[in-house]
Structure 1
Amino acid sequence: MQKSYTPTSARNKLYGLLKQVAEEHKPVVIQQKDETLDTVIVPKDDWDAIQETLYLSETGTLAKVAEREKDDMAAMNVDDIDWDQL
């Protein structure tokens, strides 16, 4: 479960929150009165992974990987995969 803080409480605990998020890999939500302004703090490594997943999804690469996973993996030689064409 993700923890939520008000902007004031987050500001008062900012260094500790940043360290906690980085170490535990659990997001922290900063909730504001206008929920359209809510913000999430995530570790950079996690953010990079999210961005990579979105990119792979947008380019169709994830669908190709899922399709190939359905194939008989025993017959597939990893050296035969043209990774630049995925």
Structure 2
Amino acid sequence: MQDSFTPTNARKHFFDIVKQVSSEHKPVTVQSKDENQDVVIVNKHDWDAMQEALYLSATGTLAEVQKREADNSGWTDIDSIDWEKL
């Protein structure tokens, strides 16, 4: 199925668009004559993930996680742990 529809075609194929977006996790654009009125239909799970990423970025949490991932000094080699002594 296509990635972009006119509003009229989107209305005609709405159920198929919903199925496609849900199963393929690919957004679909509905383009109007005025591009300020264009919309994008996305999977709810994908939307939630984007919102979470934006929140983590806005609060500085994402940068802190990336900083810690780049710093290997605090990591413990899991193979070096003596599990019997824990």
TM over 0.5: yes
| Structure 1 unmatched ranges of 5 or more | 78-86
The percent identity for this pair of structures is 57
Counterpart of 1:52 in 2: which secondary structure? helix
- 2:82 aligned partner: none
Please identify runs of 4+ aligned residues in structure 1 that moved more than 6 A.
Answer: none
Alignment pair present for 1:76 and 2:75: yes
Counterpart of 1:29 in 2: which secondary structure? strand
- 1:43 aligned partner: 43
What is the CA–CA distance in structure 2 between the aligned matches of 1:46 and 1:15, rounded to whole Å? 18
- 1:8 aligned partner: 8
What is the CA–CA distance in structure 2 between the aligned matches of 1:5 and 1:48, rounded to whole Å? 24
- 1:82 aligned partner: none
TM-score scaled to structure 2, two decimals? 0.82
Alignment pair present for 1:20 and 2:20: yes
Paired amino acid for 2:60: G
What is the CA–CA distance in structure 1 between the aligned matches of 2:57 and 2:50, rounded to whole Å? 11
TM-score scaled to structure 1, two decimals? 0.82
Cα RMSD between the aligned structures?
1.4
What is the CA–CA distance in structure 2 between the aligned matches of 1:45 and 1:8, rounded to whole Å? 26
